[in-house]
Structure 1
Amino acid sequence: MRKLIEQLVKFGVVGLIAFLIDWGVLNLLVIFAHMNSVAAGIISFLVSLAFNYLASMKYVFKHREDMAQWMEVLIFFISAAIGLLINVIILAGFTFGLILGTGRYVLFTNIGKLVSALVVAIWNFVIRKWLLDDTHTHASNRLKPADKRLSRDELDTKWEHSFSHRLGLWSLAHTPKGWR
């Protein structure tokens, strides 16, 4: 449980920095470039995504030995694309029918951004924890003999049959020669 809390804190710090980048670029584009909130939201989301990927894979999630790195990148960007879709839908919903360039438009753009940031953060953590994080190695190492819930063998069997592990093994088997 301590490891999960540490990971959530790291995820929160990286997410907060990514949000500040996203929010700053969004407001620069909406206020100074008079750009539509959805278009500005897409651009700001993509700018913050580059930071988020690098920081998340370095500080938050551990590389899985049973998954090819190209699959990690693919999962990260597919989940980010879904996050972007969530972001666009929420921003469009909050600013629908408002007049571009007004104070109310900027206010509702920012409220929409806050709501979408929360929803997308939850989505990102859940999907990345499930598919990208090396939880098996860490859980197996922490398991104490007195732990009545699962034995090491039961944990290993559960891991062997998990979608995440099978996807990782498939990615390794389908990695082109010369790739890592």
Structure 2
Amino acid sequence: MAQLVRFLVVGGVSFTIDYGLFTLLYAVGVAHLAASATSFTVSLFVNYALSRKYVFDVNEDVNIVREFTAYVGLNVIALGLNTAVLYICADIMGMSPFLGKIAATAIVLVYNFISRKLLLERIGPRPRSENFI
């Protein structure tokens, strides 16, 4: 349960970056799908660093370049899901792109937790400081 709470806190930080940048880009005239893809990608880097540090019990012996490459691969799928849901909500159903972005984020949340847990956790976890939730 504590891990899920940490995941949600880190996700909240990432969502704030994602949604804030999306809003800014959309407000200055960037198309909603392009704004969403850009903001999602930026928040991906922050989420990776925070997830490794605070959420998952990672094995420090793993090749971080290889791990990050796999992480990006998993997030290409998440970006596809995010974009598809936003497209369906905004372009097909006529919802506001802002509401569509929130719906997309909520749907992708479950996929993100499962995929990141499987990727970042390894056998023989390192000791975790309980100072962060």
TM-score by length of 1: 0.63
Structure 2: 5+ residue stretches without partners: 126-133
- 2:59–2:121 contact (8 Å) kept in structure 1: yes
Answer with 1 or 2: which has the greater Rg.
1
Give the superposed CA RMSD.
Answer: 1.9
TM-fit CA distance, 1:65: 5.7
Q: After alignment, is 69-78 or 39-48 more displaced?
A: 69-78
Q: Is the 8 A contact 2:14 2:44 kept in 1?
A: yes
Give the counterpart letter for 1:112 in structure 2: G
State the distance in 2 between where 1:28 and 1:67 align.
37
Q: Within the alignment, does 1:9 sit opposite 2:5 as a pair?
A: yes
Give structure 1 stretches of 5+ with no counterpart: 99-104, 139-180
1:38 partner amino acid? L
| 1:51 to 2:38 alignment | no
Aligned length: 125
Question: How is 1:53-92 mapped onto 2 (pairs within 5 angstroms)?
Answer: 53-64=48-59, 67-92=62-87
| CA shift in 2, pair 1:35/1:65, >3 Å | closer
Is this contact kept in 1: 2:71–2:119, CA < 8 A?
Answer: no
Whole-angstrom distance in 1 between the partners of 2:45 and 2:64: 16
Structure 2 CA distance, aligned partners of 1:42 and 1:66?
A: 32
Specify the alignment match of 2:124 in structure 1.
Answer: 137
Give how far 1:41 is off.
0.3
**Shift of the alpha carbon at 1:108?**
1.6
TM-score (norm 2): 0.83
**Higher RCO (CA 8 Å, separation ≥ 6 residues):** 2
